[in-house]
Chains A and B, each alone.
Chain A
Amino acid sequence: MKKSLLALAILAGSTALTGTAYAADKTLVYCSEGSPDGFDASLYDSGTTLDASANTMFDGLVNFKIGTTEVVGGVAESWSMSDDGLELTFNLRSGVKFHTTDYFTPTRELNADDVIFSFTRQMDQENAYYKHNNGQWLYFGYMDMANLIKEIKRVDDMTVTFVLDHPEAPIVANLAMAFAGIQSAEYAAQVEASGNLDDMNQKPVGTGPFKFVNYQKDAVIRYATNEDYWNGKPAIDNLIYSITPDASVRFQKMKAGECHVMPYPAPSELDMIKATDGITLMQSEGLNVGYLAYNTEKENFKDVKVRKALNHAINKEAIKEVVFSGYASIAKNPIPPTMWSYDDSTVDDEYDVDKAKALLAEAGLGDGFKTNIWAMPVQRPYNPDAKKMAELIQADWAKIGVDAEIVTFEWGEYLKRSKEGEHDTVLLGWTGDNGDPDNFMRVLLGCVAAEQGGNRARWCNDEFEAEMQAALLTTDAAARTESYKKAQGIFKAEAPWATIAHSIVFMPVSDKVTGYVVDPLGGHWFSNVDMN
């Protein structure tokens, strides 16, 4: 502690020692929504953790350009794919320095060893870090990287080649995700020698725009600017995450000037925030979708007419008004409108009670039936209040004679049981990871997912699946777009889901802050932000 205080004082221009810490510097305070689980982003998947780790302190081989889903160079300057789509080669940037902190002083710049270490620790079961963390590399698992990457070859000091098992179009975008952040092999060796392998997760060392200073659980995380950042030193001097779980409280703090940027404002307070002097409410379309999945294995939902009927019975306008306070766009496709290949010509199942009744009668269920709606116990951007949403749908369905009971479980139980198909209908959603439609449609509606449970509709449609596979194996953007558009048509006709809404991501930002960009992938980034 003493040491880190000293380090901060030196780094930040000797302010801590003069008494009023931070007074002279540009210090940005971000009121974050929760405590990070740790600082090794590869181990975790919550946005809160990734914001505090990958997004501030680490770079990938490639990065997403902030505010877009466009892939740009990270610690790799350039990359190329072999013609058969099986070898992906990265040329590393020279002069990339790892952070110098009070617990680590790098003796060399980033090279191929660091890249190889960052991935082998997640795939080699004999690796000390793999063992130490019980192999809990969540995203590496989600993206099925272990089956995709056959080998990582060190070509020379500054060149690495990923040898793939099969061609997969979104691989480069996958490597821009948080789990693929580059760790220092040198630091890892030092930590391993010290015996306390947890330090990798508690005292992070990266190449990113900010470096770690201090963390007090449930209270505050402090970062200092990385003076040597390869992409240019950030304009602010200090970055502070003030951990504030309650949305109303975050807004109160912003109003009081205690923080400059906050995520996830309460929908009910948006009007008030807009009207507040000194705060700008930034917004962008979220890369997400909230849906209600019909369990197509259950008797009543096998018939597409029943699913269509229920779709027509749901008043989505009311949901938008009540659950999102009007701040959302109604969903008609399984992917959000900002994603490439979105089919705007899709016609949504409009709210029409008579039509719903007629369809239900055609299906032989004119007298209605009993069913259930599962409502998530947690808040998500795509569904800020699932219980209210369920109550609205329950009331809507009652009008066509469908008597639905609202069911909820603890979150883990909810996910597990819905994965096993115990539900009739279930509310859930998805936020994009890498900006690729594959990351929505195949993982949520594909046949493998139907088997494994990620596809909560348990819907496996041959035509749809054929389009998914076709799009996966080619890198030709036009051909992929074509496939995904066709798939959206099939989806709408078959109605395995009631698509509910795409939320809008709101960021209240203080007028003192310039250059903040809202990230459609839901991350929060401060390297390009300045203050006046």
Chain B
Amino acid sequence: MARKVTTGAKIGWTILAWVVALLIFFPILYALITSLKTEQEAIAGFSLIPSGTLENYITVQTQRDYFKPFMNSVILSVGSTILALIIAIPGAWAMAFAPGKRTKDILMWMLSTKMMPAVAVLLPIFILFRNFGLLDSRIGLTIMLTLINLPIVVWMLYTYFREIPGEILEAARMDGANLWKEIVYVLTPMAVPGIASTLLLNIILAWNEAFWTIQLTTTNAAPLTAFIASFSSPQGLFWAKLSAASTMAIAPILILGWFSQKQLVRGLTFGAVK
């Protein structure tokens, strides 16, 4: 039942909420605006009206080969997420539909691996990668991102699979479906939304991962996180270009993120808040 609200109060709350929201969003908005300014305009003092030049976007591509780190980001985030799904789906399925005595312990243990500070294993990983020739390679970094996100993938899939009613499986079995038919015709259609949500959230997490991607790459496999970080010691006028590169780096994931608000809460709280 909706509460009765006076229009006056609603307008008041609306103004307050919009002011707060715009303040929070302001840095992103200002980066977008700055990306459309010339470098001289960018340092000429506060202004919300750019001259509308697209020059920076072109320069970032021609001078710094923006497309390469962008493609690396796409390959690494999508690749590592799919790899993690392939490893995790059978396990999560088994834990959700045929839980044993130890299932809960295994889940908790998996979660605990996520809590190991990355920096604690920086050196072993660095040395292993160096010895196996995996430094600055897409394969190495894909494996790395798969490992970091695997516990979250298992957990998310598990919470989604657990909501699929077991009776449906039993009914299918009664009707004579074997395990294969059960998976293909009954389980998969019901599991697809959960898998899609997991995919989405993990692409976002992998895209924004900024420890290993910076530590283990130099140029060849460097995704956008490492590329943007290289702007931290600039020479000459660069703010408008930095803004253009930043805008392009966050735009795709921002849009994906807007569609995944619900999954985000669920995935990052390991199902504790829905």
A and B: real partners? no
Identify the A interface with B (CB < 8 A). none
